[in-house]
Homo-oligomer: A and B are copies of this chain.
Amino acid sequence: MSDADDALVVFTPSGRRGRFPVGTPVLEAARALGVDIDSVCGGRGLCGRCQVDLCEGHFSKHGVASWATHLTAKSDAEQAWEKRRGPLRDGRRLSCSTQLLGDAVIDVPSSSQVHRQIVRKRAEVLDIELDPIVRLYYVEVQEPDMHVPASDLRRLKDALAYEWHLADLENDIRVVQQLQEALRRGGWGVTVAVYDDRRIIGVWPGFQSQVYGMAVDVGSTTIAAHLCNLQTGEVVASAGRMNPQIRFGEDLMSRVSYIMMNPGGDQAMTRSVRDALNELTLELATEANVHVDAILEATFVGNPIMQSLVFGINPVELGGAPFALATDEAIDGLWATEMDLVIHPNARVYGLPCIAGHVGADTAGMILSETPYLGEELMLLVDVGTNAEIVLGNRHRLLACSSPTGPAFEGAQISGGQRAAAGAIERVRIDPLTLEPRYKVIGCELWSDEPGFDDAVAPHGVTGICGSGIIEVIAEMYLAGIINQDGVVQGGLAARSERIVADGRTFSYVLHCNDSRTLAITQNDIRAIQLAKAALYAGIRLLMEQFGADHVDRIRLAGAFGAHIDVKYAMILGLIPDCDLEHVTSAGNAAGTGARIALLSRKARREIEEVVLRVEKVETATEPRFQDHFVGAMAIPHRHDPFPQLRTQVTLPAATEESSAASRGGRRRRRQGVSP
């Protein structure tokens, strides 16, 4: 197929093919055909990003006989690279330093593509196309000449235009400040970081191959951060720590109220969270052995109040109606120096957009991570915290609201409640005949009725019950008939089991008791969970009603709570609507994943900025139908909703007559502002 002067080359997997003169570098042929092969060094054999595999054999499909002899022998550049970085694997070549001698089939591995897919390691595969906003380019710049008094910067820009077709670049002043030394130390070869194809934000002497970004999820309780290699998309380090703002107030409203009482309190909280971010940054950099100056990007998600404080915005308006956000736009292109971050001073910061006063950038991150806006199926996303953020929709329409569940699901307001830590009961089963419980505690693999349990838990003891434990115990109490549909502990059972004990005018269920501690589920505990779950369910039903849907196709539970609860129990208790249990799954830290996606993909940023504008915000506090949904949802699992899919897997007790005490007396909580 080849003649004397031409070689036919076929690139896979793209299938692009063309004829080139013998002697053409493989990278050049790929570029000419529009085949996506990465390169930072511009074909100088320095970066090793342009690796390709020669496919040997007769390829009748392509009509090509492709042999090792059809490429030049290993070049000096390749040998030098192998000396520095280790041997290339068999058949692999640096395409910049390898020339065509005859016909060849060349495979471009995905690791050599600029716009490669990053497959996340999760059951639900989600493809992100790596397209970071910061990219590195190596260039060699002409030396200065007294007769052509173009400045160093102008010659750098000329080189970038010539070698990389980056025209009309702007630059940060710090690049000018560092440029002359970098050029001279690098022997006129420098690596520059270009932001969004339009602005030079960093310069280093010589060849520099790595640039990093941070994705940060600022929660009211914890801050989680990932350090990512922007060239590969890989997470190189992860870390988390408590949000130090907790000393100003445990929950959001108490922090806003602190600010109202203490002028300058917002600035103190901003400083404290930024200090924590800087400590986290140093921890990540140390763990990954990366210099902080190599971190050129950071993305942030958080609820509206956390997001405000991170960006130095006083969140006081979010403490009371009408809950006006300062901005609902993405924070785009902010300098790291403006936030006192210890990363590269020219690093840019991106904050995902908030959606409404109670639906924040964390929800935007969850939407970006779960992409309900792409599919036909009706997806329900729930992130449970002190408020629950709820998103419902599909590619045609998206609705969102925040519902005031209160902190009961996190163990607060529960008599024996505690954070999910060693010693906390997290799983519970109750024998419907004997009413005897068995349980598991965090930090121990054994159930409480298994041999050796007492010894195993001795180090930390049984200290309380966490969010997932409280869900399970109340659901099991319902399944065992200890409470009825209205959540009332059946005092009559006290005769049958000493676990049912009187507690004033109501009854409690003793879950755990030893010499040191009695852990009982009180009627008040059950009421607190009923109020929380009714608020959550009412919010969901309100969105379903507005959408015109009577069921959802898929439920994704985000956050720590979603990761730990058994979704079956959540459904038995009526936290979430009826759904095929196979389609009810944890979304992990979806908000943080959203921040990571925004870090790695410019397209994703534009996508979420556009999607949030289409989200219809539903205000539970002023929507009269919310109250009706709330009342019905006080019952377990619900006063009227039949949960047909759940009933195919679980036998629910028969419904009792409506008890006015339970369903009408339920204290209706509205989201409350804070007053100083």
Contacts and interface: CB of A to CB of B under 8 A. Distances in A.
A413 interface: no
Nearest to A155: B324
Interface string A153-197: 110000000000000000001001101110000000000000000
A153 B326 contact: yes
A154 B329 contact: yes
B622 A327 contact: no
A294 B323 CA distance: 31
Given A151-B329, A154-B327, A177 B313 contact: yes
Interface in A117-131: none
Interface in A62-95: none
Interface stretch (A142-150, A416-424, A466-474, A552-560): A142-150
Contacts of A643: none
Nearest to A358: B149
A104 to B, nearest CB: 45
Given A173-B312, A314-B177, A144 B322 contact: yes
A656 B59 CA distance: 94
Interface in A286-313: 311-313
B149 A619 contact: yes
A241 to B, nearest CB: 25
A306 to B, nearest CB: 15
B146 A176 contact: no
A56 interface: no
A152 interface: yes
Given A153-B328, A154-B329, A327-B153, A147 B619 contact: yes
Interface residues of A, number: 43
Contacts of A314: 177, 180-181
Contacts of A154: 327-329
A621 interface: yes
Given A177-B313, A314-B181, A619 B146 contact: yes
A578 B603 CA distance: 66
A325 B156 CA distance: 12
Interface string A328-355: 1101001001100000000000000011
Interface string A558-570: 0000000000000
Copies of this chain held together in the complex: 2
Contacts of A543: none
A596 interface: no
Q: Which residue, A145, A180, A323, A355, has most C-beta atoms of chain B within 10 A?
A: A180
A393 B342 CA distance: 50
B619 A324 contact: no
A173 B322 contact: no
A617 interface: yes
Contacts of A617: 149
B153 A317 contact: no
A378 B639 CA distance: 95
A337 B337 CA distance: 10
Nearest to A333: B170
A382 to B, nearest CB: 20
B325 A151 contact: yes
B146 A326 contact: no
A502 interface: no
A655 interface: no
B151 A321 contact: no
A152 B325 contact: yes
Q: Which of A176, A311, A354 has the most CB of B within 10 A?
A: A176
Nearest to A154: B328
Contacts of A150: 328
Contacts of A331: 173, 176
A357 interface: yes
A521 interface: no
A180 B154 CA distance: 42
Contact of A329 (B153, B322, B338, B619): B153
A277 interface: no
A542 interface: no
B619 A326 contact: no
Given A144-B322, A181-B314, A322-B144, A149 B328 contact: yes
Contacts of A338: 173, 337
A100 interface: no
A247 to B, nearest CB: 23
Interface in A549-592: none
A152 B154 CA distance: 41
A361 to B, nearest CB: 12
27 contacts: A146-B322, A146-B357, A146-B619, A147-B619, A147-B622, A149-B357, A149-B617, A151-B325, A151-B328, A152-B317, A152-B324, A152-B326, A153-B327, A154-B328, A154-B329, A173-B331, A173-B334, A176-B311, A176-B313, A176-B326, A176-B327, A177-B311, A177-B312, A179-B326, A179-B327, A180-B313, A181-B314
Nearest 6 A-B pairs (CB), nearest first? Answer: A144-B324, A149-B356, A151-B325, A153-B327, A151-B328, A146-B322
Given A152-B324, A177-B313, 4 more contacts: A149-B356, A151-B328, A153-B329, A154-B329
Interface of A: 144-147, 149-154, 173, 176-177, 179-181, 311-314, 316-317, 321-329, 331, 334, 337-338, 354-357, 617, 619, 621-622
